[in-house]
Structure 1
Amino acid sequence: MKGVSAIPIVYSISILLQAFVLIVENVEKSRLLFDSGRYSPEELASPLARLIFGWLVPLLRLGYDTILSMATLTPLSEDLKSRQLEPKLRQSMNLLRRAPIHDERSVNKGNLLVTAFVITFVGYALSSAFYWHLTNRLMMMSTAPGSLDTGSLTLMTVDVEKVMLGFEDLHELWASTAQIAIAIYVLASYMSWACVAPVIVPIVCVAVTVPVTQRIGSAQGTWNAAVEKRVNATSAVLGNLKEVRILGIGGYASSLLQRLRVKEITPSTHFRRLMAAIIVLSQGTIVLGPFVTFALYAIILRINDDSNFTASKAFTSLSLINIIAAPISVLIQSLPSFAAGLSSLSRIENFVSSTTPLDGKRLQDEKMSLNKRCVYLRGPGADLSMEDQELDRLEPSISSYYTSQRTFENSIIVRQAKFGWKADSDVINSCNFEIQDGALTVIMGPVGCGKSTLLYGLLNFVRYNSGQVWLKHRNVSLCEQTPWLVSGSIRHNITCGAALNQHWYDQVLNACALVQDLDHLSGRDMHEVGNEGNSLSGGQRQRIALARAIYAQNPILFLDNPLSGVDHSTSQYIVQTLFGDGGLLRSGNITVLITTDCRDIIAQADNALIIDQEGTVTATVEPSSAENIIMVTSTTEGDVSVSDNKEGQEHAEHNTSPGPSREIVEAKADLRRPTGDWTIYSFYARACGQFSAIAFLCLCLSCAFCYQFSTIWVQWWSDATEDASRRSDGFYLGIYALLCALGLSTLYLACWTSMVTMVTRSAIKLHLRVLATVFNAHVSYFSTIDDGITLNRFNQDMQLVDYSLPLAVVNTFLFACICLVQAAVISATANYMAAAIPFCLSVIYFIQRFYLRTSRQLRLLDIEAKAPLYTNFKETILGINTIRAYGRGFGSFLKQKHIQVLDDSQQPIYLLYTVQRWLSLVLDLMVACLATLLIVVAVQTRSGTSGSDMGVALVNLTSFNQYLTMLIRCWASMETSLGAIARIKDFSRDTPVANGCGHEFHAGYESDQSVVFKDVTVVYTQPKSSPEDTEDSLEERGALSHGHLALDSMNLSIRPGTKMAITGRSGSGKSTLVSSLFRILPLSSGMISIGDVDISQLDQQVVQNRLNAITQNSFFLSDVSLKENLDPLGPYDQNDAGFSMPITDIMREVLVSLQLWTLVEERGGLEGLFSQSSWSSGQLQLLSVARAIVKKRRTQCHPDSGWKILVLDEITSSLDKASARMVRDRIKIEFEDYTILSIVHKFDGVLEDMDEMIVMDSGKLIRRGPPRELLRVM
């Protein structure tokens, strides 16, 4: 007996010990860690804190009290970071690739019922919150990086977002099966064989949904292609915004992007129509399921001559039908999003899995470090016998070989090789040559002969059609003609993440003539280069790219015209320090292959490769032979130079915003961030159309009323069964059917109004608003803003406006109306609950107010955090050739940065999803309290409430929980999407507009078209810093401190018809002078006038359209016709005075005069789509000249449409001598009566073509006179 009596004691002690262990386990232990700051609070939280999201409370309090930033957010859990997910993703992909494809009521029972309700609703709240939290973690993992090297930004933005949205309900697709089966089994005990109706209706709906879903996948693909085309065009325009403005095609570019936007709407409208149909079908299971079930049950009762349709049976059945219909509705509505996600995932998979033209060299290069790569041989059937080498087979299928020996004398051997951009067209024909170790080899030839193609062919970046190529070393440094720079410091761009060798680094800086430039830059080599190097001049960018290639110390160096933007004296210095006796590359025995027309480099060359117009390569090894070739290429005879680095593109790109600085704008946005801006809703409503918005709200209310009144109608039907004089069942079924039809009809009309009518209007208006803001602001305003931020407005923001926001708006307002109607029904049917409803609404209000201050900030941080991700990806795309040439080891610094910004971008979105789950948990617990209160009232006051009333209340309360949860999910999604609307609203309101915007030009203003600069001063300014972002400090932050003086009281008068050359050292103000003329930069003081017109009073687009220019960096839009590129100003009236031929004939005449017509015919003619990658740099410069001539012809036809002023910016830098001479001759003829301002740093042709010349220094005009006199004294 003693042993038996001890059992309860032992059992009690065991329970106490387990309780103690549970308590200890739930005590936070983060203080015991040495470095707890690097862990996520979720990782350190106790099991209970994880279950109820207690670890989020400090973040919610912080968001309520202060302004959140990326620095204040908690770190991601280790299992969600990219470095942890990428190996798992690769392993999964490899496994997938290898896997094969195939009626008495008692008080006691009432009390038990209360307990059951508490357990059910509280358990649902906790399990649901925890389940969705795990789902959110899965969605975060779906954004892990793969091995993406290049491709479209659309894949990273639009497609990834759709994958996340599509897979959000993935587990709902299978988890609902058990719930449906159990509910049908229970329903059968009440409704007999009528229980099959809730299944039959969904089966019919699914049968209709499947073909619609298939069409949705096709519509999704078409829409994505249209989005990609628009985003690519937008990226090109934003990346060359200065050139677009100077060329005077800002209006055309804006119109083109808007046309692409309108064209994009058509396939998206088809997609949204299908989505509206899907939403109605998904709701059909909820609406039609009860109707069909009751109709079948009525038939059963009629057959059995029974009238046993009681309230308890009706509302129990109705609850079970809702339990069946709800998951099926989610299933049907999730299918199209899931299909769209699969379509986007397929696009991503195809991109990641797509093969590139790279063969064994690149394939092995991806697997070998930068220091281990050594030799490469390729070619169909390659069979080079190397007597001094032992060749080991590396990649048999593509004939690639390598060796670790370095005794062979030649670095490059090419035999019968043919390269081209297309399989059936060779640009380089049958070239044969050998290049020895340490040799300097120049590649020369006329414009468009294939000099760059030869370099790319040796690197296997173009199609390799036949022959054999052998490179002794895999380590190849590439310096392209268009320099590639990434955001960061100058040092970062030179070292590219490698360890700093200070001695070698200093030597490289000196050899590339960068030391003097660094002395004039703030921070020296830590100076930020800006977006694509826009804070530097063109020559500085080229020399930094050259320094990077040399710093890598690779044994082979490929240079593509690296000094085209460098003045002659600087070029001479660089050539001597690199290629002269004892030069840096000579002493290092570096093999150099360079395309150039520079006579100084040719004189130092050991070999020369001459390419003729047919693509035939002729090799010569005598420097004297190379000298003889100079006659067919560009020379620099007569070149005299001031100490210039080209470089008139000095700091013209710096920010000189005349209005509020970007920091001030962001500070004001920060002040609004916690509380939000309810005017966003009215702003969006106006964009959608106020009548449409009001009609949409009315339709949602009508739909909700029809949905919920059907429940009351069932109550009236069941109550009427005891009345002998009641109407027939057919009457009640008929009204029930009418309510169902009205509900579905108003739902479809609401979806149509929101997703078709409202979206079409808002998509066009908001895109146009952003476009107008971009093109009405000074270019300088955007120079300090990350390109990814601006592009993000046209990419992700528009994606939210088009896709996420319409769905969220429909669901949010529909569920909100349903919840309001349900609350009214519950209050009306359960009298005691009416007192609890206001209390619950108050609780909801205060909880959401507490929640919103954090969620709004997280929503905005999510959108903003993606901008660096897009910028880094875009930089990788632009430099993909350089990265591939150097090898994967070189690009690791970009990958590391990409992983870092990817993890940073995940922090706010993960926390946003998590706080949404916290809110859902709180609201579910509140509904559990309501359910408990309702059932307590029903048990304790049985005589005060009828069974049918309680049935109506319980049915509505049961579904109220589901609808409230859906409301919170959709409302949170709408809040996130509305962040895009807020950004658009703030961007259009806060971006400073250039002076004179909207002022039109009236003919006859100017008399003689003379150009006068009067006391013109341009100062690069910076905002004063302020320690706090408070409302009181904003005005103080508006004060601007003086910075770099670019133009200092400049006075210059240019007579009409004058041909003037502008030169000067780097930073002297040449490009600032021209930029101010085009109103690219605002004036700090002074005035610029043309004739009698002060151009600051004119719309900047008018000024830019009326001037004519040829820029050094040729800009053309791809995927539009060449005709449209040459004449972007619009229709041409051939019957105007002075012309008797159509515009196409004029274009043909101009292209023939520039020897381009044959090439144009080969590439589709004037109506063929233009592809900039199919043209060489020299050919693009010739096309730029042709465009300027066509614009001149238009001005000649319409004298009031433009001024006779032409601005040139080193337009022959990529042309051979014959082509340069042809261009100068054409300009002389075509622009004989024009005023010409030409920025030069090489003076070939200046004596012949120019009347006057000015020399600038430190923003001042220091010399002016005839070119011959000035050149003699310089």
Structure 2
Amino acid sequence: MCDNENCYKLRKGGAFAINKDKKIAYVAQQAWIMNATVRQNIVFGKNFDQQWYDEVIEACALLSDFNQLTAGDQTEVGERGINLSGGQKQRISMARAVYSDSDIVLLDDPLSAVDAHVGQHIFTNCIKGLLKDKTVVFVTHQLQFLTDCDYILVMKDGCIVEEGEHRLLMSNINGEYANLIKSFHDDGESQDGGDTGKLTKMEDSRSDKVKMATYRSYIQAAGGFCIFMVVLLLILITLSAQSFANYWLSVWFKAGSGGVLVNVTYLVNQSEVVRQEISMDILDNPKLGFYQLVYTLNLLAILIFTVVKSHTFVQAASKASSNMHGKLFKKLVASPMKFFDVTPCGQILNRFSKDMDEMDSLLPFMAEQFLNNAGIFLVTAAVIASVFPFFLIVMVMATGAFILFYRLSQNGIQSLKRIENVTRSPLFSHIAATVQGLDTIRAYKKEDNFHNQFNKLQDCNNMAFFLFETSMRWTGGILDLIAIMVIVATAVFASFSSSDIVSPSLAAMALTSALSMTDLFQYTVRVTVETAAKFTSVQRIQNYINVSDTKAPPIIEERRPDRAWPKHGAIKFSNVDLRYREGLPLVLKNITLDIKSQEKIGIVGRTGSGKSSTALALFRIIELAGGSITIDNIDISTIGLEDLRSKLSIIPQDPVLFVGTVRYNLDPFDKYTDKELWTVLSKCHVKHTIQALNGQLDSFIVENGENFSVGERQLLCMARALLRHSKILVLDEATAAIDTETDSLIQETIKEAFADCTMLTIAHRLNTVASYDRILVLDNGEVIEFDTPQKLLANKHSVFSQMMAVQESQKKSAIEE
């Protein structure tokens, strides 16, 4: 089935029939890889059959790749297969489809990411071999394979324009298919001349308690210890004012009428007798206005201090959350790529979602409850102690019991909270991976498998949450016993104390306060334990902030290059060694190259040979393990990353578009006019696609550019690079997902627009680089050949010549049959 670039959308309406009993396998254009081992990605939940498995990996040309991986097919590949090259990911996806032994196999251009040798091997041994008795729908831009297809559909603008066998379609010399094959053939002729295998890190769920450094970091983020002391002072003043209100009422009631004598009339023997007696009405007190004034001012002070305290606390808590979020985000952005290689996205999402939510909302609430209740407890204890000094003995005993119990329980409770946080990360990773591979999961009918895995991860997290909550309930029960001891002691003192020593009003006040401590004491200690548990989220965020391994600074003031750098674009690799992480084998080995200004270099080789790693080294995405790279005689390791990367442009193998408008994706800093944007879109042959959109340049692009085809995404990335017009350009399989006709036009645009640039092009379509100044052939991270294409093609034993011979034979078979 031959596919043109505009046929990625299905028309609405009509009917589509398929036997529901038939199993379907699907290989997406952009391979979906789970964060698991290579074998688990291939077997994909089916029973393991060693013999069939060996046949599949041989047909998909994966044996040599297994030998390169640290633990063979037991190597963990990381999030989105980050440990693999584009070709390796595609072949694993292909192996998954073949191993599934499905009746219908849908292949969406799977050979675009592999070189000619491997592509021919897969087509011969896999598609024509192991899948010979299956129904295969093969969408491709690799026209050389169409001669062996039983039936061909030619699509254009979402419609089938031709269909039939290869010979029949070629007989129509003016037909769409014949023109495509002729263009493909002519285009080729014109160009002549650690733990082994373990990748991701598990989160630390050790039982160590929250350290004092965590509390200090939170206080510093909130504004420092001065703000902290101000908040504490405001809380104590507010609580003291509230206690003073109760105290003043007891004084007021004790004063009664103030000893004022009032006339009381009695009826004795039917005659009125007037006597003077002390009034029992507090309203008769001559100092009534004074008592009312003090009480009113105290209430007003309570109101003012409560508002000021609440506002100050909320501002401090918000500032702490904002500052720690900013530090976390900056630290993650500044982290080297190896950090993201070994850290699943679920762990990062967990920090920015649940951990940040607990620090934003739950922690301030619990902390305020803790400070308020601790203050109330201290004030209440002081009131009781002022009435019964001997009560201090009971309070010391109760406090000792509280401290002992807190020390015994805090480690266990904090560990349970930490386990709850840790078990949430795999859940987030699973959800993210499921959303990314939804098409593949549905095609293989693996919804139940992923649903069951989700339930297992959810149950694991719920179990930890349940244990945390039950431990808090157990804590509350124990604390009730301690509170009852305090109440009993207070009641005993109140009952056996003389009224001459303690007035009934003060005794009642002390007993009431003691009764209130039943709930207060239990809740205060529980809030203390829970607040400390919530600080595990702060600790987890702080652990990320404190990661010592960061990438180089964006700007090094004393080593900034000239603004016009690089003027020439000359690149020199000197004994360059590169490895992705410590303990892993080198992916580039002693690479030495001298690339002249404005030279066009084609980089070819088998998948996994180190082609993309060369680009990563140039951009310092991964720092060198040895050697040096200079651009215009400046060692790139000595300058800031912003100064380096702002001068380079890349069109990656996997095109990247951001959520936003087309304009934002092309010109995020708003430096260019609309005319300039339309010009580059026209040069990249994607102008008509953007014009067809409702908002044109202001049309919205969804996440990952899913509302565009892969080929259109690559064209938009190319337009972005063309707009910057950097002196050095790297193209990493930039036209792999584009049809042959558009590819030819794009190659002409590249030649014209980047004529004065130094260009490094990584390619599997050898005809796209056959006219370049020199060809670099890599194998297993080493330079095999580096010379002009004419000299390499003249040597029939050269690797490049053999690769070209394979591709030319495929083209000839396509035009001759």
- TM-score above 0.5: yes
Instruction: Tell me which amino acid in the other structure corresponds to 2:375.
Output: C
Instruction: Tell me which amino acid in the other structure corresponds to 2:683.
Output: S
Distance 1:1183 1:948, change over 3 A: same
Distance 1:1230 1:835, change over 3 A: same
Would you say 1:1225 and 2:775 are equivalent positions?
no
Distance 1:637 1:1214, change over 3 A: farther
C-alpha root-mean-square deviation of aligned residues, in Å?
2.7
Distance 1:994 1:1241 in 2: 32
Partner in structure 2 of residue 949 of structure 1: 506
Distance 2:634 2:213 in 1: 41
Contact residue 599 and residue 630 of structure 1 kept, 8 A: no
Distance 1:585 1:522 in 2: 30
Q: Give 2:538's match in structure 1, choosing from 981, 999, 1005.
A: 981
Structure 2, unmatched stretches of 5+, are 261-284, 800-817
Distance 1:562 1:504 in 2: 21
Contact residue 761 and residue 769 of structure 2 kept, 8 A: no
Deviation of residue 869 (structure 1)?
0.9
Distance 1:731 1:1156, change over 3 A: farther
Partner in structure 1 of residue 778 of structure 2: 1256
Partner in structure 1 of residue 47 of structure 2: 499
Q: Give 1:585's match in structure 2, choosing from 106, 125, 131.
A: 131
Contact residue 338 and residue 581 of structure 2 kept, 8 A: no
Deviation of residue 1113 (structure 1)?
0.7
Q: Give runs of aligned pairs for residues 538-617 of structure 1, distance below 5 A.
A: 538-580=86-128, 583-586=129-132, 588=133, 590-613=134-157, 615-617=158-160
Instruction: Tell me which amino acid in the other structure corresponds to 1:753.
Output: T
Distance 1:626 1:714 in 2: 103
Distance 1:500 1:987 in 2: 39
Q: Secondary structure at the match of 1:536?
A: coil
Partner in structure 2 of residue 530 of structure 1: 78
Q: Secondary structure at the match of 1:465?
A: coil
Q: Give runs of aligned pairs for residues 461-476 of structure 1, distance below 5 A.
A: 465-474=12-21, 475-476=23-24
Distance 1:1271 1:850 in 2: 77
Q: Give 2:699's match in structure 1, choosing from 1147, 1161, 1168.
A: 1168
Contact residue 321 and residue 359 of structure 2 kept, 8 A: yes
Contact residue 599 and residue 636 of structure 1 kept, 8 A: no
Q: Give runs of aligned pairs for residues 234-383 of structure 1, distance below 5 A.
A: none
Distance 1:695 1:1222 in 2: 70
Partner in structure 2 of residue 1125 of structure 1: 665
Deviation of residue 728 (structure 1)?
5.7
Contact residue 115 and residue 607 of structure 2 kept, 8 A: no
Would you say 1:928 and 2:475 are equivalent positions?
no
Q: Secondary structure at the match of 2:77?
A: coil
Distance 1:700 1:1087 in 2: 60
Query: Which structure is larger by alpha-carbon Rg, 1 or 2?
Result: 2
Contact residue 578 and residue 626 of structure 2 kept, 8 A: yes
Q: Give runs of aligned pairs for residues 658-673 of structure 1, distance below 5 A.
A: 670=206
Distance 1:681 1:637 in 2: 71
Partner in structure 2 of residue 900 of structure 1: 456
Partner in structure 2 of residue 962 of structure 1: 519
Partner in structure 1 of residue 433 of structure 2: 875
Instruction: Tell me which amino acid in the other structure corresponds to 2:358.
Output: L
Partner in structure 2 of residue 1093 of structure 1: 634
Deviation of residue 534 (structure 1)?
1.2
Would you say 1:685 and 2:219 are equivalent positions?
yes
The size of the alignment, in residue pairs, is: 751
Instruction: Tell me which amino acid in the other structure corresponds to 2:308.
Output: L
Q: Secondary structure at the match of 2:658?
A: coil
Would you say 1:716 and 2:251 are equivalent positions?
yes
Distance 2:43 2:736 in 1: 28
Measured against aligned partners, the alpha-carbon deviations of 1:536-559 in whole angstroms (never above 9, x if no partner) come to 111111111122222222222222
Instruction: Tell me which amino acid in the other structure corresponds to 2:695.
Output: G
Distance 1:1165 1:638, change over 3 A: closer
Distance 2:696 2:401 in 1: 70
Partner in structure 1 of residue 592 of structure 2: 1051
- More displaced stretch, 890-899 vs 631-640: 631-640
Would you say 1:886 and 2:444 are equivalent positions?
yes
Distance 1:747 1:635 in 2: 79
- More displaced stretch, 622-631 vs 802-811: 622-631
Instruction: Tell me which amino acid in the other structure corresponds to 1:551.
Output: Y
Contact residue 483 and residue 522 of structure 2 kept, 8 A: no
Deviation of residue 635 (structure 1)?
4.0
Measured against aligned partners, the alpha-carbon deviations of 1:1216-1247 in whole angstroms (never above 9, x if no partner) come to 12211222222222211111111122212212
Contact residue 569 and residue 757 of structure 2 kept, 8 A: no
Q: Give 2:406's match in structure 1, choosing from 848, 861, 865.
A: 848
Structure 1, unmatched stretches of 5+, are 1-441, 455-463, 641-650, 1023-1041, 1133-1141, 1196-1203
Measured against aligned partners, the alpha-carbon deviations of 1:300-322 in whole angstroms (never above 9, x if no partner) come to xxxxxxxxxxxxxxxxxxxxxxx
Contact residue 1154 and residue 1223 of structure 1 kept, 8 A: yes
Q: Secondary structure at the match of 1:471?
A: coil
Q: Give runs of aligned pairs for residues 1173-1252 of structure 1, distance below 5 A.
A: 1173-1192=706-725, 1204-1248=727-771, 1250-1252=772-774
Contact residue 86 and residue 653 of structure 2 kept, 8 A: no
Q: Secondary structure at the match of 1:992?
A: coil
Deviation of residue 620 (structure 1)?
1.2
Instruction: Tell me which amino acid in the other structure corresponds to 1:1078.
Output: F
Q: Give runs of aligned pairs for residues 750-1149 of structure 1, distance below 5 A.
A: 750-755=309-314, 757-887=315-445, 890-943=446-499, 944-996=501-553, 998-1000=555-557, 1001-1003=560-562, 1008-1022=568-582, 1042-1118=583-659, 1120-1128=660-668, 1130-1132=669-671, 1143-1149=673-679
Distance 1:740 1:970 in 2: 27
Measured against aligned partners, the alpha-carbon deviations of 1:746-781 in whole angstroms (never above 9, x if no partner) come to 3333333333x2344333322221122122221122
Measured against aligned partners, the alpha-carbon deviations of 1:572-603 in whole angstroms (never above 9, x if no partner) come to 111112343xx2222x2x22222111124311
Q: Secondary structure at the match of 2:602?
A: strand
Partner in structure 2 of residue 30 of structure 1: none
Measured against aligned partners, the alpha-carbon deviations of 1:9-58 in whole angstroms (never above 9, x if no partner) come to xxxxxxxxxxxxxxxxxxxxxxxxxxxxxxxxxxxxxxxxxxxxxxxxxx
Aligned-pair identity in percent equals 26
Distance 1:860 1:612 in 2: 56
Structure 2-normalised TM-score? Answer: 0.86
Distance 1:1262 1:550, change over 3 A: closer
Contact residue 685 and residue 746 of structure 2 kept, 8 A: no
Deviation of residue 692 (structure 1)?
4.4
Measured against aligned partners, the alpha-carbon deviations of 1:886-925 in whole angstroms (never above 9, x if no partner) come to 22xx233323322222222234332222222232222221
Instruction: Tell me which amino acid in the other structure corresponds to 1:974.
Output: T
Q: Give runs of aligned pairs for residues 602-751 of structure 1, distance below 5 A.
A: 602-613=146-157, 615-626=158-169, 629=177, 631-632=179-180, 635=184, 670=206, 674-690=208-224, 692-721=227-256, 723-724=258-259, 726-727=285-286, 732-733=291-292, 735-751=294-310
Distance 1:975 1:604 in 2: 68
Instruction: Tell me which amino acid in the other structure corresponds to 2:777.
Output: V
Distance 1:682 1:541 in 2: 46
Q: Secondary structure at the match of 2:14?
A: strand
Deviation of residue 730 (structure 1)?
6.1
Distance 1:1081 1:797, change over 3 A: same
Would you say 1:450 and 2:7 are equivalent positions?
yes
Distance 2:169 2:361 in 1: 61
Q: Secondary structure at the match of 2:48?
A: coil
Deviation of residue 870 (structure 1)?
0.6
Partner in structure 1 of residue 790 of structure 2: 1268
Measured against aligned partners, the alpha-carbon deviations of 1:133-170 in whole angstroms (never above 9, x if no partner) come to xxxxxxxxxxxxxxxxxxxxxxxxxxxxxxxxxxxxxx
Distance 2:686 2:12 in 1: 26
Distance 2:793 2:497 in 1: 107
Deviation of residue 1266 (structure 1)?
0.4
Contact residue 598 and residue 635 of structure 1 kept, 8 A: no
